[in-house]
Amino acid sequence: MTKFLLASVLMFTPLVTSADVLILDEVRQVERLELPENGLSKADVESRFGAPGQRHAAVGDPPITRWDYGEYSVYFEYDLVLFTVLNAGQVVEKT
């Protein structure tokens, strides 16, 4: 039983290691991108990054608004950026 458990762990170790490297590469690439930062106003975002491709209506209380750009979406609480999220598959340069 112990040999089976050890063999199973060793068999899946390379998969976990490669996934960790991919995530680290993605984080490093995101850090190099210029994206709207937390605390910027809607006017600041629009002046620096242009008009969004789509603006979604506010939802909830406090109101959360989403603006979609080509590679990312910006979420606002009232008038200020909460966070910016990259769309799936937009980063990861193969190096």
The CA distance from 26 to 19, in Å, is 11
Contacts of 38 (CB under 8 A, 6+ apart): 80, 81, 82, 83
Structure confidence at residue 56 (pLDDT): 97
Would you give per-residue pLDDT tens digits along the chain (95 residues)?
555 544 555 555 555 544 554 555 555 565 668 899 999 999 999 999 999 999 999 999 999 999 999 889 999 999 999 999 888 766 555 54
Q: Does residue 66 sit in helix, strand or coil?
A: strand
Structure confidence at residue 88 (pLDDT): 75
Structure confidence at residue 54 (pLDDT): 96
Q: Where are the alpha helices (DSSP H) in the chain?
A: 2-32, 42-49
The CA distance from 45 to 61, in Å, is 22
